[in-house]
Amino acid sequence: MAKKSKNEMINDMKIHGWDPGVNEKDSYEDVKDEYDAFIDETSDDSDLFPNGRDYDAEDED
């Protein structure tokens, strides 16, 4: 995957309703840290499977 620019990361966050709290004047590392937090938060599927167990397997007994 190609390295995203600061503007691309900031735009991705804004498009998805995330308030980045950083701008083009901040360092690349600061923008990248915020972008990584955005990705972690928005890709978290723990709400779907809160305890990580597969109940279907237990029901097949």
Over residues 26-57, the pLDDT tens digits come to 999 999 999 999 998 888 666 665 565 655 55
Residue 47 lies in a domain: no
Contacts of 30 (CB under 8 A, 6+ apart): 22
Residue 49 lies in a domain: no
Residue 54 lies in a domain: no
| Total domain count, the chain | 1
How many Å apart are CA 15 and CA 47, to the nearest integer? 22
What is the DSSP-derived secondary structure letter of residue 26? Answer: S
So what's the pLDDT on residue 14? 94
How many Å apart are CA 59 and CA 56, to the nearest integer? 5
Print the domain residue range for 27.
1-42
Residue 57 lies in a domain: no
Residue 34 lies in a domain: yes
Residue 12 lies in a domain: yes
What is the DSSP-derived secondary structure letter of residue 49? Answer: S
Alpha helices, H only, the chain: 6-15, 28-42, 55-59
Residue 48 lies in a domain: no
So what's the pLDDT on residue 34? 96
